[in-house]
Amino acid sequence: MVDYLIVGGGIAGLCFAELCIQYNKSFRLIADDSQNSSKIAGGLYNPVILKRFSGLEDAALQLDYLDAFYAKIEERLGLQINFPLPLLRKFFSIEEQNNWFQAADQPKLSSFLSTTIEKKNISGIDAPFNYGRVLRTGYLDTALFLKKFQEYLNNLDLIFSETFDYSKMILEEGCVKYKDIEANKIIFAEGFGLHANPYFNNLPLDGTKGELFIIKAPELQLTDIINTSVFILPLGNDLFKVGATYNWQDKTDIPTEEGRAELTTRIKEILECEFEIVSHFAGVRPTVKDRKPLLGNHEMHKNLFILNGLGTRGVMLGPYSARMLFEFSENDTEIPIHYSIKRFKKK
């Protein structure tokens, strides 16, 4: 008998597994890599919605927890996955500069938006109106995180690579049986795969397809993250990750010509140098219309839990959401309503 059976090996499932390790809870994790949004994600963490110059709920709390959380994983695995890095917002007009300073006066944003105009000459980018700097930003190497953490779990015989078969799950009083695994509780962290889950597929989880590039641009001398209509993230060796598109109709993880054309056009609006597309990726993000996670347990089967809906900000939301669900499961600590699945309960 284990404390938890975790279904899903993306950011959400691994964050919950990390908490089990920290608090000495026994678990098994099942993953089949059918959902690749965590693996190909941009991995950026940024406390500001730059498109609208608005703040995120609990951004400072999420960032405080993020630093300590990933540091523990880095120490255990003996590698770096969290890379704090400045993020610069390229201004396209004086009006955008003014909007930036107005936003920086807001209490919710004042600690995240620098009020000093960044005058940088970046080879390969023309920025006559300069840049604004967002504070407390960086990126997580999500592919490395998933690969190395899953390898770590595999060496301990804690992870199984298979597609979860819901018909093989038997619910008993205070116990969940799945094949030869018995667990006190089960955590469903399947991402967009939630739609196949008969216990939680009534929840309004949407899928937003995102496409990204890895480009090679030897003339681009960029060491910070640039964010405009797309982000450009330096990876070293003249390589840069660029993304992302947003498609609410297509629910496949197959790269498209439309996505390729859209990203290419946006890159050309920013860069004044040649670039080569090295790789083209796509994935379906597990999003909710109100941009909040799905946390809680089943109304009838109290030992079935959900950890989902991390959307485009899984790197920031993952540790924070996993902790809320863990404390709810272990200590019956109430989940704030704007994170809880109870907000969708019919009145």
Using 70 as the pLDDT threshold, list the residues of the chain that sit under it: 34-36, 346-347
The Cα–Cα gap between 65 and 160 comes to 28
CB contact set of 175 (below 8 Å; sequence gap of 6+): 1, 182, 183, 184, 303
Does an H or E element contain 277, and which?
Answer: strand 276-288
With beta carbons less than 8 A apart as the criterion, state whether 126 and 90 touch.
Answer: no
Q: Report residue 292: phi and psi, to 5°.
A: -120, 155
Which pLDDT value is given to residue 38? 74
With beta carbons less than 8 A apart as the criterion, state whether 45 and 137 touch.
Answer: yes
Which pLDDT value is given to residue 32? 84
SS3 helix, strand, coil % of the chain, rounded to 5?
Answer: 30, 30, 40
DSSP 307-319: EE--GGGHHHHHH
Which pLDDT value is given to residue 346? 62
The Cα–Cα gap between 231 and 211 comes to 12
CB contact set of 99 (below 8 Å; sequence gap of 6+): 53
Which pLDDT value is given to residue 35? 66
The Cα–Cα gap between 100 and 104 comes to 6
Show the CA angle centred on residue 294, arms to residues 284 and 280, nearest 5°.
15
Which pLDDT value is given to residue 34? 67
Threshold 0.85, pTM exceeds? yes
Which pLDDT value is given to residue 337? 95
Q: Which residues lie across from 304 on neighbouring strands?
A: 186
99: left (phi over 0), alpha (psi -120 to 50) or beta: alpha
Q: What's the Cα-to-Cα distance from 28 to each of 103, 142, 286, rounded to whole Å?
A: 45, 21, 23
Dihedral sign for Cα atoms in the order 293, 297, 300, 304: positive
Which pLDDT value is given to residue 347? 46
2-45+143-205+290-344 belongs to which CATH class? Answer: alpha beta
Euclidean distance between the first and the last CA atom of the chain, given in angstroms as a whole number: 38
Does an H or E element contain 329, and which?
Answer: helix 314-331
Q: What is the dihedral of CA 310, 312, 318, 319, to 10 degrees?
A: -140
Of 118, 140, 152, 127, give the one whose Cα is nearest residue 42. Answer: 140
249 burial level (CB within 10 Å; 0-12, 13-18, 19+): exposed
